[in-house]
Amino acid sequence: MENESRYYRINPVVSCGIEKDGAVLFNPDTDDTSIINDSGHLIWDFLQHPHTVEEICSYLRENYENLSTEQAYKDVTQFVNALLPDFLEEVGDHEG
Amino acid sequence: MKDDLPWFDPVLPPDGLQSRPREVDVSLTGRCNLKCAYCFYADEMAGLSDLSTERWKACFCELGELAVQRVTLSGGEVFTRPDLFELVDCLIDNKMRYSLLTNGTLITEKTIAQFETGKRRQRLDSIQVSIDGSCAGVHDKSRPPKSFDRAVNGLELLKKYGFPVIVRVTINHYNVHDLENIARFLLDELGLSGFGTNEAEYMGSARCHGQGVVLSEKERRRAMNDLVVLNRRYDGRISAQAGPLARLNMFKEIEERLQKGETGIPGRGTLCSCGGVFSKMAILHDGTMVPCNMLPTLTMGIVGINSIQQAWLHHPSINVVRQRRRIPLTALESCRDCPYTGFCAGGCPAGVMNRFGRLHGIDPLYCYRAFKATSDDENEFERQFTETL
């Protein structure tokens, strides 16, 4: 599967402002903003350290009981692709 | 019949308020190399002392932890602070963008070169330079001698090196007759894409000068007429957040809607003019937090001693400004029988506070009824306005 062996982590330049139902990401270099929901915020915190899509899926499924592997993979892939490259960055194996 | 004001708990933030400000206006210093006749900040500059470098840095770290996105740095004059770029770097390290407000007189090639370090240029939203005349003979009437030449020099340097520069013209008694020349100078000669306008407020230095620098109602109407003609000539390149042009635009909108038979504008009819306090707050140069630097007496605590987030959410001084929008204009004795309340938002709360020492009221300069009633007689408006003080 695409992205399976790649590692992703948060872009260190991005700020994360927590709100009631999620968070606001702000990249001050590009002046871009992205709003993420509660599950997105969970992934964001997880990506303080680099992880693959598979690892993110496993983590999500630990926190959301009824989430299927297939749905988790779909949601995580969509999340990662939406936030690349301004808010997430792709890194080498176990970098950082 | 007195004002009939609704009650609310000033410690509770309004529903839906963000948990932190998105932007903060920071008056970085009370020092200035000029002494302008209408400086709204003059009282604060005289009475308060600058925060140290370390305390500003701690403040910016706290703003960074809150994920504040932008800071506007002003003063006083920001370029008088020798640690300005050290503080800018601290903002950058804390994931923020910034803008600068300046009189432009201290900008040199050396200043420009300092922006080339790190991300200082990349994170810069804008530099606003104040220009109040088309020539020294006009500009220097409200500002010290030789300030025009130095300001224009600074402006031209910024433009030459491609900085995102904007110009603000504060319309006052000394330059109201010079607007056409100012527009020609800024837009034709200097080639700016546009400039902003406001007017001198009856605050700070302007109070000391009495009515000498603040516009009379006759002068305001002259400015309104001149600006509408100029804006047509220059294809809308003159803007205004406040002052004669903003007032004119507001009144024009009301008249257009009245002609269509409308009785109001959605969202108006209450004291709702100020949206700033829902996304923004200010910090004075001694660290005092306030809702806006035009409301310096509504103190919310001091950075480094009181939590910025707690002040933002729960301090009564900012919540009373937010809750103004729950006050219908019909609750005010002065507006109860006005046929235009549906169009009105009450004007800037700082204007109200400045004139009346309270927040529940309207700024008479933004009263369409008063303007319409006195259109043929500026002296009558002046008389009515004075009576309301």
Contacting residues of B for A13, CB less than 8 Å apart: 95
Which region among A41-50, B23-32, B312-321, B348-357 has the lowest average model confidence (pLDDT)? B348-357
B19: nearest CB among A19, A26, A28: A19
Q: Is pLDDT of B282 > 90?
A: yes
Residue B292 contacts residue B74 (beta carbons within 8 Å): no
Quick: pLDDT tens for A85-96.
999 999 976 554
Q: Is pLDDT of A75 > 80?
A: yes
- Flag if A14 and B95 touch (Cβ within 8 Å): yes
- Flag if B69 and A20 touch (Cβ within 8 Å): no
Mutant choice from A11, A21, A30, A31 vs B, greatest count of B C-beta within 10 A? A31
Mean local confidence (pLDDT), B313-337: 93
Q: Is pLDDT of B381 > 90?
A: no
B95: nearest CB among A15, A20, A24: A15
Mean local confidence (pLDDT), B68-72: 98
What percent of chain B has a predicted confidence (pLDDT) above 90?
A: 72
| B139/B203: higher pLDDT | B139
Q: How many residues are listed for chain B in this entry?
A: 389
pTM of the shown model: 0.92
Quick: pLDDT tens for A25-66.
999 999 999 999 999 999 999 999 999 999 999 999 999 989
Does residue A22 lie within any of the structural domains?
Answer: yes
Mean local confidence (pLDDT), B71-83: 96
- pLDDT at position B15 is 85
- pLDDT at position A94 is 55
Q: Is pLDDT of A5 > 90?
A: no
Residue A8 contacts residue A55 (beta carbons within 8 Å): no
Contacting residues of B for A16, CB less than 8 Å apart: 67
Least Cα distance to B197 among B240, B229, B138, B231 occurs for B240
- pLDDT at position B13 is 86
Mutant choice from A11, A13, A14, A15 vs B, greatest count of B C-beta within 10 A? A15
Q: Is pLDDT of B151 > 90?
A: yes
- pLDDT at position B388 is 42
Inform me whether the C-beta atom of residue A13 falls under 8 Å from chain B C-beta atoms.
yes
Burial class (CB in 10 A: 0-12, 13-18, 19+), B104: buried
Does residue A94 lie within any of the structural domains?
Answer: no
Bridge partners, residue A19, by sequence: A22
Mean local confidence (pLDDT), B275-284: 96
- Flag if B19 and A17 touch (Cβ within 8 Å): yes
- Flag if A28 and B64 touch (Cβ within 8 Å): no
Quick: pLDDT tens for B8-55.
788 888 888 999 999 999 999 999 888 887 887 777 777 789 999 999
Q: Is pLDDT of B143 > 90?
A: no
- Flag if A28 and B123 touch (Cβ within 8 Å): yes
| A14/B202: higher pLDDT | A14
ipTM: 0.91
Contacting residues of B for A31, CB less than 8 Å apart: 97, 125
Does residue A95 lie within any of the structural domains?
Answer: no
A27: distance to nearest CA of chain B, Å?
8
Inform me whether the C-beta atom of residue A34 falls under 8 Å from chain B C-beta atoms.
no
Least Cα distance to B49 among B208, B305, B284 occurs for B284
Residue B88 contacts residue B120 (beta carbons within 8 Å): yes
Domain that holds residue A64: 7-86
Q: How many residues are listed for chain A in this entry?
A: 96
- pLDDT at position B389 is 40
Nearest chain A residue to B119 by CA: give it. A29
What percent of chain B has a predicted confidence (pLDDT) above 70?
A: 95
Residue B22 contacts residue B279 (beta carbons within 8 Å): yes
Contacting residues of A for B67, CB less than 8 Å apart: 15-18, 24, 26
Does residue A44 lie within any of the structural domains?
Answer: yes
Counting the structural domains of chain A, the total is: 1
A17: nearest CB among B66, B123, B125: B66
Euclidean distance between CA atoms A78 and B353, whole angstroms? 50
Mean local confidence (pLDDT), A13-30: 96
Does residue A21 lie within any of the structural domains?
Answer: yes
Least Cα distance to B277 among B313, B321, B317, B309 occurs for B321
Euclidean distance between CA atoms B169 and B132, whole angstroms? 5
Does residue A63 lie within any of the structural domains?
Answer: yes
- Flag if A17 and B18 touch (Cβ within 8 Å): yes
Q: How confident is the model at residue B256 (pLDDT cuts 50, 70, 90)?
A: very high
- pLDDT at position A1 is 45
Q: Is pLDDT of B379 > 90?
A: no
The residues near B248 (Cβ < 8 Å, ≥ 6 apart) are: B224, B227, B228
| B26/B208: higher pLDDT | B26
Contacting residues of B for A24, CB less than 8 Å apart: 67
Q: What mean pLDDT, rounded, does chain B reach?
A: 91
Does residue A91 lie within any of the structural domains?
Answer: no
- pLDDT at position B1 is 54
Mean local confidence (pLDDT), B294-323: 96
Does residue A93 lie within any of the structural domains?
Answer: no
Residue B116 contacts residue B88 (beta carbons within 8 Å): no
Inform me whether the C-beta atom of residue A21 falls under 8 Å from chain B C-beta atoms.
no
- Flag if A31 and B97 touch (Cβ within 8 Å): yes
Q: Is pLDDT of B180 > 50?
A: yes
Residues of B in CB contact (< 8 Å) with A are 18-20, 64, 66-69, 92, 95-97, 119, 122-123, 125
